Amino acid sequence: MTREQLTEKILDIKRAKGWTWKHIINEIGGVSEVLVVGALLGQMKLVKPLAAKAAALFGLDQSEERMLNEVPYRGMPMPPTDPLIYRFYELVMVNGPAWKALIEEEFGDGIMSAIDFDMQMERLPNPKGDRVKFTMSGKFLPYKYYGAEQGLPEYGFKEE
- Active centre residues (catalytic): 87, 90, 113
**Would you say 109 and 143 are in contact if contact means Cβ atoms under 8 Å apart?**
yes
In degrees rounded to 5, what are phi and psi of residue 147?
A: 75, 20
Secondary structure letter of residue 41 according to DSSP:
T
**Would you say 131 and 147 are in contact if contact means Cβ atoms under 8 Å apart?**
no
Strand partners, 134: 121
Write 67-70 long-range contacts (CB < 8 A, 24+).
67/1, 67/3, 67/6, 68/6, 68/39, 68/40, 69/45, 70/3, 70/45
